[in-house]
Amino acid sequence: MTGQASSGAAPMLVLDDVTAGYGDFQALFGVSLDVKAGEAVAVIGPNGAGKSTLMRAISGMILLKGGTVVMEGQRLSEVAPHKIVEMGIAHVPENRRLFPRMSVEENLRVGSFAPPFRAKYADRLEFVYTLFPRMKERRNQLAGTMSGGEQQMCAIGRALMSDPKILLMDEPSAGLAPVIVQQVFELIRKIRADGLTVLIVEQNVQQVLKVVDRAYLLEAGTIRHSGLAADLLGSEDIRRAYIGV
């Protein structure tokens, strides 16, 4: 698959024995995983498994209760949360979280708001518009008036404005019509072809396993299984439990 990392490459992102949650509620129990440069890796599992919590723990939206998250040798617990994006981690949140009363282009500009990204604004905007021509057509439209699929394009584009090393995608197909889901996964293929590293959490197991290299199965806050995407797609246990066929 295009952009796939060599097996000997050192991981870009490493989670080791991560425990996290909200207040007294614990959502993750000793989660360990890694992502190498150029890979696309999925975290799959049922609703309530802790997938979104995992993404928030990586991007600094919640504090770890235990364990470490390391990006290119740097512990993220030693980095201010607002500086994590400057290390090359961009998060496309669940439900997109656009500013609905701002235009598409204003939403994209938010993605390059931090001082280190401002000099690249014009180049990155052109990159996003080349990747998503529809966003260029809609650049003056209020984001909240677009379809769900168009909003997802805008959310992905906003994350790409910071020229990230790794893109975190949280349930990108959630709430979208089947035909739009196909378009979203085609967008992920395009991003992969550009060589970007991707970590994606997704309930649409059958679709996501077709566009990633490896996957981890998260269940009740614990990694239950991991392997090559093709192997998991062919696993009878996984198929019965999570794909439904």
Give me the DSSP letters along 108-172.
Answer: HHHTT-SHHHHTTHHHHHHHHHHH-HHHHHTTTSBGGGS-HHHHHHHHHHHHHTT--SEEEEE-T
Largest CA distance in the chain: 50
Residue appearing with tokens 């991981």: 11
CATH of 1-86+211-245, one of 3.40.50.300, 3.30.2290.10, 3.40.50.920, 3.40.50.2020: 3.40.50.300
DSSP letter (8 states) at residue 8: T
Q: In what order do the strands lie in the sheet with 166-170?
A: 89-92, 166-170, 197-202, 40-44, 214-219, 222-228
Residue 161 contacts residue 125 (beta carbons within 8 Å): yes
pLDDT given for residue 5 in this prediction: 46
Give the Cβ contact number of residue 75 at 10 Å: 11
Gap between the Cα atoms of 203 and 215, Å rounded: 12
Q: Give the pLDDT of residue 114.
A: 80
Q: Are strands 166-170 and 197-202 parallel, antiparallel or unpaired?
A: parallel
Asked if 216 contacts 222 with a C-beta cutoff of 8 angstroms, the reply is no
Q: What's the pLDDT score for residue 236?
A: 79
CA atoms within 13 A on the CB side of 187: 29
State both tokens at 80.
Answer: 């201010």
Stretches in the chain below the pLDDT threshold 70: 1-9, 241-245
- Smallest CA-to-CA distance from 39 within 207, 204, 221, 166 is with 166
Nearest to 56 by CA among 65, 67, 48, 64: 64
* Mean residue pLDDT across the chain: 89
Residue 115 φ then ψ, to 5°: -50, -40
